[in-house]
């Protein structure tokens, strides 16, 4: 198993940096371009949630990103120490947002769920949130060999 850990300030300009670093790390699994784009989008949604919801765009928070590769399985953990989520099930509902004034679509968790094989959300109000996403990459389709 190989892994990397990164700690960044919760600033919007760091979101694109995290996307690129995670994509470069995941590239060892020889994913398709579509798979890589889906992983980058899911990571972007998770980091953006930390910035906007956990820390209310204050830029003083910290986001921890842990990425591991085990075989062809990519595991991502995005963790913040912000305000936490009061109702995880409600937060995972499509179109739900606590920030309608920011014109947020409320699709972050839905996007993460659609682009990853597994999504786990743990949160303690007042302590923070950990989002764990798992995706198998570089799958060879049986019909490719014909």
Q: Are 50 and 117 in contact (CB under 8 A)?
A: no
Instruction: Assess whether 49 carries a catalytic annotation.
Output: yes
Write down the catalytic residue from 11, 92, 104, 130.
104
Instruction: Assess whether 19 carries a catalytic annotation.
Output: no
Write down the catalytic residue from 49, 79, 113, 135.
49
Write down the catalytic residue from 45, 77, 79, 113.
45
Helix axes 33-49, 13-26, angle to 10 degrees: 140
The Cα–Cα gap between 49 and 27 comes to 24
Instruction: Assess whether 28 carries a catalytic annotation.
Output: no
CB atoms within 10 A of CB 37: 14
For residue 24, give both structure tokens: 């470069």
| Strands (DSSP E) found in 10-117 | 62-70, 73-80
Catalytic residues: 45, 49, 104
């Amino acid at each position: 198993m190989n892994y990397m850990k990164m700690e960044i300030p919760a600033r919007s300009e760091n979101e694109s940096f995290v996307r690129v670093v995670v994509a470069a790390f995941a590239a060892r699994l020889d994913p398709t371009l579509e798979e890589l784009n889906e992983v980058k989008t899911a990571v972007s949604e998770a980091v953006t949630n930390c910035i906007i919801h956990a820390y209310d765009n204050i830029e003083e928070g910290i986001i921890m990103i842990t990425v591991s590769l085990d075989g062809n399985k990519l595991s991502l953990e995005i963790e913040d120490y912000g305000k936490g989520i009061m109702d995880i099930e409600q937060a995972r509902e499509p179109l739900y947002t606590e920030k309608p004034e920011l014109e947020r679509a409320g699709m972050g968790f839905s996007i993460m769920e659609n682009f990853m094989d597994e999504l786990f959300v743990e949160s303690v109000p007042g302590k923070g949130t950990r989002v764990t996403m798992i995706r198998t990459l570089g799958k060879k389709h049986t019909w490719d060999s014909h």
